[in-house]
Amino acid sequence: MKAHSRLDRVSDSLLESIVQITGQRDRDSLELSLVKTLHELIASRRIVLHRIDYVQGKRHLLPQVHFEHDEYVLENLEFDEEDETSPLLDDFPDFLASLESRQMVKCRCLCDSEECSQFIYPIFGSADRVVGFLEIDSANHDGVNHKLVGGFLKIYHNYLMILDDSERDTLTGLLNRKTFDNNIAKITSAYRNADANGANPKGQLRRRQMHTDWSHWLAVIDIDFFKSVNDRFGHLYGDEVLLLLARIMEKTFRHNDRLFRFGGEEFVVVLEPASFDNAWSVLERFRKAVESYTFPQVGKVTVSAGFTHIRSDEIPATVVGHADEALYYAKHNGRNRVCSYEKLIEEGVLGGEHYTSEIELF
């Protein structure tokens, strides 16, 4: 009877853990739930979930969430292109061995000055690509625990694929409008917390000091005369233009810039913290890349863009509205150009009004 009761308790605990993991609706919560679940089910001193960032032929190892000393920390550390000390995966031979073998690797480590074992499990993403690792430091990690970890990593993988499908635009593969709302809300919230605590929006997680002229930027991008593309060549070629434009975006923008299809021929980019000049430069680079590209059957296509910096005291709708006003100005004044909301205000050509006209904007 006692054995049966213990089995019931274990079964209830496992079921509750699965419910907790599959009840999450974003990646941060999913990762945190996985680490919490595994800590509660197995004996461990330390658990860390790492992500691999593949950037310009190099692989960077970035901690995302960890448990240590009875504390859960959601790090969500991102690769910083200007930080030369960003950890390279090649500098961690045990993690590299797990990546190459695609299996768990066991090694020795110190846990609070005591010798224990370290277990490194590969985490698989789409197309069975290794996208990260789960690191567990434990003095007592037996075969049962190994099976539990393997099972929960499979559940995590399956649910991650479901989340990925729900976050992506079906045609272009870019992030969708629903995901945009969640992302922009997190950024403005981070800035509000930073203002309250006197820290930069990433706190200690970004090694680069956040200067006063560095911030996230939001750009709204629209294809010029896209309606005429659909009218002249049909929606099939119109869809191909949208798909190819998305590929140009992925090649042009930086690794941590977030790219969204906002709807129709309109796209939104949330730029990682940068100066005004850098933000302008990357948007101009994209505009020129589109201008120089020859689209099959359609030929030449151009885009217009309006951008603004993201402030902590503004709601997401206001931020998008400011970028839209800059976009409307670009559309009214020649198209195929990038306009800054702040610059237009400073120059006195925008007074906060919304542009309306009989000319075709989109």
123, 142, 167 - which closes a domain = 167
What six digits make up the tokens of 68? Answer: 């240590």
Tell whether 361 is covered by a domain.
no
> Phi, psi at residue 141, to the nearest 5°?
-120, 95
Whether residues 206 and 308 share a domain: the answer is yes
Whether residues 183 and 149 share a domain: the answer is no
Contacts of 262 (CB under 8 A, 6+ apart): 177, 180, 220, 268
| pTM exceeds cut of 0.85 | no
CATH of the domain at 231: 3.30.70.270
Structurally, the chain folds into a number of domains equal to 2
Using alpha carbons, list the distances in angstroms from residue 361 to 237, 318, 326, 341: 20, 20, 13, 18
| Distance of alpha carbon 166 from alpha carbon 123, whole angstroms | 20
142, 167, 192 - which closes a domain = 167
Tell whether 355 is covered by a domain.
no
Whether residues 214 and 187 share a domain: the answer is yes
> Phi, psi at residue 286, to the nearest 5°?
-65, -45
Tell whether 354 is covered by a domain.
no
Contacts of 28 (CB under 8 A, 6+ apart): 65, 74, 76
Whether residues 271 and 295 share a domain: the answer is yes
Catalytic residue among 75, 78, 135, 265: 265
Whether residues 319 and 264 share a domain: the answer is yes
| Burial grade of 206 (CB within 10 A; 0-12, 13-18, 19 or more) | middle
Contact in structure between 259 and 249 (CB atoms under 8 Å): yes
Whether residues 208 and 262 share a domain: the answer is yes
Poorest-pLDDT segment among 119-133, 137-151, 244-258: 137-151
Please, what sign has the CA dihedral across residues 83, 85, 88, 90? Answer: positive
| Distance of alpha carbon 85 from alpha carbon 80, whole angstroms | 9
For residues 5 and 102, the model is more confident at 102
pLDDT tens, position by position, 232-281: 999 999 999 999 999 999 999 987 789 999 889 999 999 988 899 999 99
pLDDT tens, position by position, 286-330: 999 999 999 999 999 999 999 999 887 778 888 999 999 999 999
pLDDT tens, position by position, 16-33: 777 777 776 777 788 888
**Please, which pLDDT band fits residue 212 given cuts at 50, 70 and 90?**
very low
Tell whether 358 is covered by a domain.
no
Per-residue pLDDT at 80: 53
Per-residue pLDDT at 204: 35
| Distance of alpha carbon 216 from alpha carbon 192, whole angstroms | 13
pLDDT tens, position by position, 182-192: 778 777 766 66
Give the residue numbers spanning the domain of 6: 2-167
CATH of the domain at 146: 3.30.450.40
Tell whether 236 is covered by a domain.
yes
Query: What is the average pLDDT across 7-22?
Result: 67
Using alpha carbons, list the distances in angstroms from residue 226 to 195, 234, 295, 300, 362: 41, 11, 13, 11, 6
Per-residue pLDDT at 5: 53
Using alpha carbons, list the distances in angstroms from residue 172 to 161, 164, 175, 176, 294: 17, 13, 9, 9, 18
| Distance of alpha carbon 221 from alpha carbon 340, whole angstroms | 12
| Distance of alpha carbon 11 from alpha carbon 18, whole angstroms | 11
**Does 75 participate in catalysis according to the annotation?**
no
Whether residues 200 and 317 share a domain: the answer is yes
